[in-house]
Amino acid sequence: MLMLQDYRVLQRDLLLEIARAITAQLELSEVLRMVLRASVGMLAGQVGLIALRNDSDGRFYIRATSGASLEIIPKLNEKLHDLMSSVSEGTDNDYLNLKLREMAILIDRKLRQSVAMPLIFADQPLGLLIVFRSYQAAVTSDDVQILQSFANQAAIAVHNAQLYERIEHERKRLAALLQHSGDGVMILSPSLIILRFNSALERMTGWSSQDAIGQHHDVVIVWQRREHGDLQASLAAGWPKRPVSEESFVDTLSVEGDLLRRDGLTLSIGITYAPLFDADGKLLNIIANVRDITNFRKAQEMQNVFISTVSHELRTPIALIKGYASTLQRDDVEWDKAVVREYLTIIEEEADRLTELVQDLLTASKIQAEQQVTLNMSDVRLDLLAMRAVERFRQTTNHHFELDFPDEFPVISADEVRLRQVIDNLVGNAIKYSPNGSQIKVGCSYDDDWVQLYVQDEGPGIPLSEQTRIFDRFYRIDNNLSRKTKGTGLGLYLAKKIIEAHRGTISVHSQPGSGARFTITLPR
Ligand code: ADP
């Protein structure tokens, strides 16, 4: 027969064993379950619950139960909240017992006694363990001692599991961040083996993460052309430097160039490599952040083209103005009136061209900054604007104009100055990009909802692949014709922005070899 003394020893051994098992467990819910089972068993109770402090609101919530039904948990949480706030206000034991009694009744009327144990770690209350039983029995000081040491052990286990849970959350959050980042991210071992490879990088490189992981960095990152930075050379030269202190800046390395993708295509990318050291200053990982810099490159290229076209475009009229002005100024020649007038006309025209160019540039940069065109609306007849434009151009070119206008035409509300700018550009382009002497057809039409204008030439036309790009800012088709003609590539860009500000559309139809036809459509 077991003596009471032996029973206590047995109970203590059992407790120790359970405590050890609990501390080895990192899954919070599992730890709570084990603590509950052990404590309910130890006190021969019927029902047990564990509440844990929530970090965000500081309140206690039931996180595990044994023997209580789930539906009453919200109500129990309320009682628990009253109980815990009275504890922090230092209320007497009677009130605590009353609250515990109320909880017991909520669970089961038959429950008679409750034993509550705080779970305390590093002087901080982590939670509360309560065991209810259906009979009243004395709890000896020995019992309390054993129970308390068990609760202390349990608190350590709960604390560890909570830490683990937090780390696990953090890990999952980081993994999601890494996976869904718009930038390519890979994690490398110190010997440059790929350990992680996110989906953005799959898209950029054409490698699946499955194939890339385990490969050496250089197998996946193959440079067709490297502009600056060199990972291998930097490693050989002692990169990365260990940080002197926690705060000292990270020794990152940037490499930029054209990547040869797995499918043979190329992509302009920039990679920033950042080293990760452990507490002893040993290199743990290299984290590579990869950005697609195609757009940046394109913008840079466009800017270069722009600077060279604009300076060219500015230089020509300036040279003409300067040339004619200094000719007129020569003291040794007596110019007759007709020559003077001719030269002054040229100077004036060239000055106008300069003004126009500067105006276009200003409008383009204004649109860029404000994202829209501001319109000055008035009553406008599109057919009259077109006719006037043709009359103006007729003087300056030997193209044949054919007009196609209905007898009557509706008035619309539009910005006359801007529309004139668009029509001038379309007719001007038709002249510039079609042979001398060929025919240009300009016509208008309307229906109940729309008015339309088209300009059709007999030039070489525009290849399908270029038909959307010609409306881009500074875009000029790279062919013989464009090289021989002057232009900034702003005209159609501005035309499109202006027509769209009127809620209209501009389009081009062209069969290469048989001319181009530009059409604008505006709402009535
Ligand atoms: P720009 O004429 O100053 O170069 P635009 O924006 O008006 O600029 O036109 C962009 C490009 O579209 C031109 O450089 C030219 O290559 C092409 N383009 C425009 N109109 C025509 C046309 N009627 N026929 C052939 N190509 C055209």
* Residues 77-125: tens digit of each pLDDT: 999 988 888 777 766 778 888 888 999 998 988 888 888 888 998 888 8
How would residue 451 be classed by pLDDT, with cut points 50, 70 and 90? very high
224 Cα to the center of ligand 1, angstroms: 34
- Residue of 433, 494, 511, 518 to mutate, ligand 1, most atoms within 8 A of C-beta: 433
- Judged against a pLDDT cut of 80, whether residue 252 lies above it is answered with yes
**pLDDT value for 316:** 82
Least confident span in 70-79, 193-202, 296-305: 296-305
Q: Is 345 exposed, middle or buried (0-12, 13-18, 19+ CB in 10 A)?
A: exposed
- Residue of 464, 471, 492 to mutate, ligand 1, most atoms within 8 A of C-beta: 492
- Would you call 220 helix, strand, or coil by DSSP? helix
Say how far apart CA 391 and CA 406 lie, in whole Å: 18
User: Which positions ≥6 away from 516 have C-beta within 8 Å?
Assistant: 430, 433, 456, 457, 459, 461, 462, 508, 509, 510
Could you tell me the pTM of the whole model?
A: 0.55
How would residue 5 be classed by pLDDT, with cut points 50, 70 and 90? low
Segment 416-419 long-range contacts (CB within 8 Å, at least 24 positions apart): 416/376, 416/378, 416/380, 416/385, 417/376, 418/373, 418/375, 418/376, 418/498, 418/501, 419/380, 419/382, 419/385, 419/498, 419/502
Instruction: Please report where in the chains the tokens 């209580």 appear, as a residue.
Output: 68
- Judged against a pLDDT cut of 90, whether residue 63 lies above it is answered with yes
426 Cα to the center of ligand 1, angstroms: 9
How would residue 1 be classed by pLDDT, with cut points 50, 70 and 90? very low
Say how far apart CA 373 and CA 496 lie, in whole Å: 10
% the chain with pLDDT above 70: 97
Ligand 1, closest atom to CA 490?
A: 6
471 Cα to the center of ligand 1, angstroms: 9
**pLDDT value for 86:** 77
How would residue 7 be classed by pLDDT, with cut points 50, 70 and 90? low
- Of 205, 202, 187, 350, nearest to 276 by C-alpha is 187
434 Cα to the center of ligand 1, angstroms: 11
496 Cα to the center of ligand 1, angstroms: 13
513 Cα to the center of ligand 1, angstroms: 15
402 Cα to the center of ligand 1, angstroms: 21
Say how far apart CA 128 and CA 107 lie, in whole Å: 17
28 Cα to the center of ligand 1, angstroms: 69
Nearest CA to ligand 1 atom 3: 487
Burial 426-463 (b: 16+ CB within 10 A, else e): bbbbbbbbbeeeeebbbbbbbeeeebbbbbbbbbbbbe
- Judged against a pLDDT cut of 90, whether residue 235 lies above it is answered with yes
Mean model confidence pLDDT for the chain: 88
409 Cα to the center of ligand 1, angstroms: 29
- Of 425, 442, 412, nearest to 523 by C-alpha is 412
399 Cα to the center of ligand 1, angstroms: 17
**pLDDT value for 2:** 47
Ligand 1, closest atom to CA 476?
A: 14
User: Tens of pLDDT along 175-207?
Assistant: 999 888 989 999 999 999 999 999 999 999 999
Nearest CA to ligand 1 atom 14: 476
Nearest CA to ligand 1 atom 2: 487
Instruction: Please report where in the chains the tokens 């110190």 appear, as a residue.
Output: 190
- Residue of 470, 497, 511 to mutate, ligand 1, most atoms within 8 A of C-beta: 470
Nearest CA to ligand 1 atom 12: 470
Residues with CB under 6 A from ligand 1: 425, 429-430, 433, 457, 459, 462, 470, 475-477, 482, 487-493, 516
